[in-house]
Amino acid sequence: MKNAYIKFLTPEDRANGFEQLSQRATVIGLDEGIFCVPLSSLTILNDLNICYTLVPFGDVDRARRRTWHFALTKMPAPA
């Protein structure tokens, strides 16, 4: 399965797009409002006229590093 990295253009598009995609496809959220979705699911957004843009690889790589860095950081011990 091939993936696309997208960013929604408005908060309304993000809410509507995320709702539609989460019901019909796998969605992975990265840092900076970037979402990883199956390439085939972009037709869902296109059919519903939900605006998004494809994200350049450099931005995806930077967001991935921050996302994984956050995920791998140890939680502080409770006081």
Give dist(CA 7, CA 51) in Å, integer. Answer: 9
Say what the pLDDT of residue 58 is: 83
Residues of the chain with pLDDT under 50: 68-73
**Phi and psi, residue 42, nearest 5°:** -65, -25
Contacts 24+ apart (CB under 8 A), 35-38: 35/5, 35/6, 35/7, 35/8, 36/3, 36/4, 36/5, 37/3, 37/4, 37/6, 38/1, 38/2, 38/3, 38/4
Give dist(CA 13, CA 34) in Å, integer. Answer: 13
